[in-house]
Structure 1
Amino acid sequence: MKQVQLSNGEYLYATNDSRYMFSGRLIELSGTEFTDLTEEKMRLDRVETLHNIDLSKSITFQASGEEKYEVFVFTDVSCGYCKNFHTHIGEIVQEGITVHYLAFPRAGVASPVGELMGRVWCSEDQQAALTEVKAQNSLSQTPVPCKAPVSEQYALAQKLGVRGTPAIFDEDGNSLGGYLTTEQLVTALNR
């Protein structure tokens, strides 16, 4: 069997003669245990991708005190669940979790939301701009000239298979899912 990776990060499987192809999960059974080999391969791919992100292009909320964990959150400023997640950012950083926000405007880079996210990423105080836009749906800061990384981060999200927001990943490449409360995030990271 061959494993074929698609541009969106998903995998297909084909017989060695390429006559038959199927999609889905490749599961290894061993006694009463099973291992999802597809998820493990995707996790390893995500680790490499996440570790190569230029964090200077993310909007980072640094852990207070000792950093215990880092998470990468693909966000959309018009997403209700993203807004709700961000209302917990103070609690999250108090738990020792650094949050790196990355742009994923669900309607696309050229959409009004994509353009607004570009202005957020080009704001002098990005943290304040992101917080303001998520709370009020408007931005009072005048952006400074810059090349916003929105299209680059959008493409990265597609490569990682992101389909909705928020999409939360830990530094080991595990997909933690979508919206999580602070308590749920801590529990997911402690597994």
Structure 2
Amino acid sequence: MKHFTRTLIAASMIAMTACGAQADAPPKDLKTKLSQSLGQPVDSVKETPIKGLYEVVLNKRHIVYSDAKGEHVVVGDLVNVASKKSLTEARMAELNKVDFAKLPLADAIKEVRGNGKRQLVVFSDPDCPFCKRLETQSLAGIDNITIYTFLMPLASLHPDAARKSELIWCAEDRVKAWQDFMHQGNLPTGGKASCENPIARTVKFGESLGINGTPALIFADGQIVSGAIPKDEIEKILAKQK
């Protein structure tokens, strides 16, 4: 089970449970049994709001659901019908949180706006059109923030992105070089074509966090959000930060 297709766990399944029914703790041998039958590490097994259905976390990146005997596995989202919210997505967001304080911020381009009190990390590819949208639209006008941009060229999609990332990193003024390219498409000239840089290790680090696409945003609470989300959504999340 290397790949999982996300589907919807039928609402009728939720309706089958009694209102307010107390979930049972998972059987003690269920984790071992599932690890053996699925052929991969099982990080945790815990109860869900549905009696007899258990959440199974695999490789810290995937969630499936199992019966008490480990004979059947359900792949997909567990949805609360009343709120129309995916419990699976919420749980995955919790699992994927990172320790912001442990991020290697010295490997990022640091831009301080206003008092710089709020903090945001962005993994970005200079040739990614969605990264350009994030820079030119979503992040435009956001003030009193420090933005750390990790250059993460995706070689399989953008063969020249690594060269451009290196030129930007090696520029005398990295913030200006980054903004000039993302806003006007102008690469730095007259500077170093190459220098000691963190780009290769940034790619590996991003992948270790489960980031396989750009842009990816990490907020101060460790929440990872993928994509060029709108400015108002960024402001809403930042407003919740301490």
Tell me the TM-score normalized by structure 2. Answer: 0.59
Percent identical residues = 21
Q: 1:184/1:75 Cα in 2 relative to 1: closer, same or farther (>3 Å)?
A: same
Q: 1:47 aligns with which of 94, 97, 116?
A: 97
CA distance in 1, matches of 2:227, 2:87: 22
Residue 5 of structure 1 is matched in structure 2 by 59
CA distance in 1, matches of 2:208, 2:85: 23
Can you list the C-alpha shifts for 1:117-169, whole angstroms capped at 9, x where unaligned? 133223332112212222225331324621x2223222333333334322222
Report the AA paired with residue 51 of structure 1.
A
Whether contact under 8 Å (1:47, 1:171) holds in the other structure is no
Cα RMSD of the aligned pairs, angstroms, is 3.3
Asked if 1:84 is matched to 2:138, the reply is no
Whether contact under 8 Å (1:4, 1:14) holds in the other structure is no
Report the AA paired with residue 128 of structure 1.
K
Asked which structure has the greater CA Rg, the reply is 2
Whether contact under 8 Å (2:98, 2:223) holds in the other structure is no
Q: 2:110 aligns with which of 60, 66, 70?
A: 60
Whether contact under 8 Å (1:75, 1:166) holds in the other structure is yes
Residue 76 of structure 2 is matched in structure 1 by 24
Whether contact under 8 Å (1:71, 1:100) holds in the other structure is yes
Q: 2:205 aligns with which of 131, 156, 159?
A: 156
May I ask how many residue pairs the two structures share in their alignment?
Answer: 183
Q: Tell me by how many angstroms 1:77 deviates.
A: 0.6
Residues 166-177 of structure 1: matches in 2 within 5 Å? Answer: 166-177=215-226
Q: 1:124 aligns with which of 172, 176, 180?
A: 172
Whether contact under 8 Å (2:131, 2:214) holds in the other structure is yes
Residue 192 of structure 2 is matched in structure 1 by 142
Residue 104 of structure 1 is matched in structure 2 by 152
Q: 1:144/1:123 Cα in 2 relative to 1: closer, same or farther (>3 Å)?
A: farther
Higher helix content, 1 or 2: 1
Counterpart of 2:93 in 1: which secondary structure? helix
CA distance in 2, matches of 1:185, 1:137: 27
Can you list the C-alpha shifts for 1:9-49, whole angstroms capped at 9, x where unaligned? 3444566766544543456x6x9568755445543444335
Give the structure, 1 or 2, with the largest relative contact order (CA under 8 Å, sep 6 or more): 1
Whether contact under 8 Å (2:115, 2:145) holds in the other structure is no
Report the AA paired with residue 149 of structure 1.
P
Whether contact under 8 Å (2:116, 2:146) holds in the other structure is no
Whether contact under 8 Å (1:109, 1:154) holds in the other structure is no
Whether contact under 8 Å (1:5, 1:12) holds in the other structure is no
Tell me the TM-score normalized by structure 1. Answer: 0.72
CA distance in 1, matches of 2:122, 2:211: 10
Structure 2, unmatched stretches of 5+, are: 1-53
Counterpart of 2:121 in 1: which secondary structure? strand
